[in-house]
Structure 1
Amino acid sequence: MKGKGIVIGVMVVFSGLSYLGYKRATDLRKYLDKTYGRKKMDAVGYAGGALQLAAVTAVSRGWLSNTSALYHGISLIGSTGLLLTAFYHEAMAPVLVNVIWMGMNTVGIFEGISNMQALAEMSMVIG
């Protein structure tokens, strides 16, 4: 039941934030354009893509587990960058995909942190 509660909570939060972002999309884009400009927003997207690739590479090479909080954290930051640049350029399909991806990563982080085995492994790494 604990896992279902996390999933439902993340779905509610991400749905609410997505709705608010959608309703204020024009104002948010104007703010991003005025504050950061196109070049910086594109750089955020490239950095996000690089982090996503790094996370997947780390899992495929065996450097990280696909259930580790670190993997999900790196992937969450990467998908946030991709989301921001997709939103800025009004590419709604990638926005939706990245919102879902961010939700899955958030659930993975919460489940990874609450996993006692993961905490034990982390304490061994730290010392």
Structure 2
Amino acid sequence: MKNADPAEPDFDALFAAAARIQRQAYAPYSRFKVGAALLADDGAIYVGCNVENAAYPVGSCAEAGAVSAMVAGGARVIRAILVFGEGAERVTPCGACRQRIREFAAPETPVAIAGPEGIRARFTLEELLPASFGPANLPR
């Protein structure tokens, strides 16, 4: 279902994409699969899933995969992101992924946290990474 407000990201589409890619995660060690889907400034949805490695911590997070896919696709701005994980607790981005998201997103960017039953919580990036260091902090 499309949102009536074109300014509001289509979280239904992000949820479906993240849930679909979460099943592709490679998590033989933790058995904790995570999917992420982000809406970029080009209007496309980019996805990523976690990929573990026997040589811990060489694996990569779902959010990192989605950001990499976005950059490879030529987009440079995250308009919204949804992270999908199972279990009783909310699966929010780790600290490193919060900083990765910040590289391409404004503090007011919505970050949705979801599980199989639907969206569990919504935050702004500022709420997850207050007083963040971003591209504007560096001279150009």
Q: TM-score, normalization: structure 1?
A: 0.28
Q: TM-score, normalization: structure 2?
A: 0.26
- Higher RCO by CA contacts (8 Å cutoff, separation 6 or greater): 1
Q: Which has the higher strand share?
A: 2
Q: Which has the higher helix share?
A: 1
The structure with the largest alpha-carbon Rg is 1
